[in-house]
Amino acid sequence: MQINVAQLLKESVGSNRSYQLDKSIGADNISSVKGNLTLTRTKSGIMVNGEMTATVTGICSRCLKQIDYKIDYTLTEEFSSSMDTSKDQYLPGEPDRPTIDDSHVLDLSEVIRQYAVLTMPVKPLCNSDCAGICPSCGHDLNQGHCKCPPQAPDQRWAKLVRLRKESRV
Ligand SMILES: [Zn+2]
Ligand SMILES: [Zn+2]
């Protein structure tokens, strides 16, 4: 996703352009990204604002099925211009900020990808009430019960239960 901003850099602060994005990515489990981007001329460069939706491929953290899910995220990043177009002079540029290269091309691919990665859930689910799999036989409990006996109560609670019983005496 590269946009030539030579013209926008020549315009006054506050000038803006809108772009529609629909792009396949194919990295970091992101299959595609869609959204609307607004590029606004700032004093030192270009501010990029975007409302994005990424389609991500992952594994449900409960039932381990492969799933495709969507994440919505907002992108806000200011790119410094390395050149003052009105004077044709190079500017020092701001540290910690992506810069627009000398040919005035803004490369958004990396920013779009990074923001998506930061928004991805640590434990994606196929469905918010996914029943998961049986820890004994691996049966997908979304498809009904398996034949395993009910799980023994968690040993970590056993001591608490005993304490509670004793305190009643
Ligand atoms: Zn699931
Ligand atoms: Zn089972």
| DSSP for residue 22 | E
What pLDDT score does 169 carry?
A: 53
Q: Which ligand is nearest to the CA of 135?
A: 2
Write out the residue range of the structural domain in which residue 107 sits.
2-130
Ligand 2 centre distance from Cα of residue 134 (Å): 5
**Integer CA distances (angstroms), 122 to 49, 94, 118, 119, in order:** 25, 32, 10, 9
User: Three-class SS of residue 152?
Assistant: coil
Ligand 2 centre distance from Cα of residue 126 (Å): 20
User: Within this chain, do residues 103 and 145 fall inside the same structural domain, yes or no?
Assistant: no
Q: Can you give the pTM of this predicted structure?
A: 0.73
User: Within this chain, do residues 114 and 32 fall inside the same structural domain, yes or no?
Assistant: yes
The domain tally of the chain equals 2
The residues pairing with 95 across neighbouring beta strands, listed in sequence order, are none
Give the pLDDT confidence of 51-107 residue by residue, as tens digits: 999 999 999 999 999 999 999 999 999 998 866 555 555 555 555 677 888 889 998
User: Within this chain, do residues 94 and 76 fall inside the same structural domain, yes or no?
Assistant: yes
- In DSSP notation, 105-164 reads EEE-HHHHHHHHHHHS-SS--SSTT---B-TTT--BGGG---SPPPPPPPHHHHHHHHHH
Ligand 1 centre distance from Cα of residue 32 (Å): 22
CA 76 distance to own-chain centroid: 13
Ligand 2 centre distance from Cα of residue 147 (Å): 6
* Mean pLDDT (the chain, rounded): 86
What pLDDT score does 93 carry?
A: 53
User: Within this chain, do residues 164 and 139 fall inside the same structural domain, yes or no?
Assistant: yes
Ligand 1 centre distance from Cα of residue 121 (Å): 14
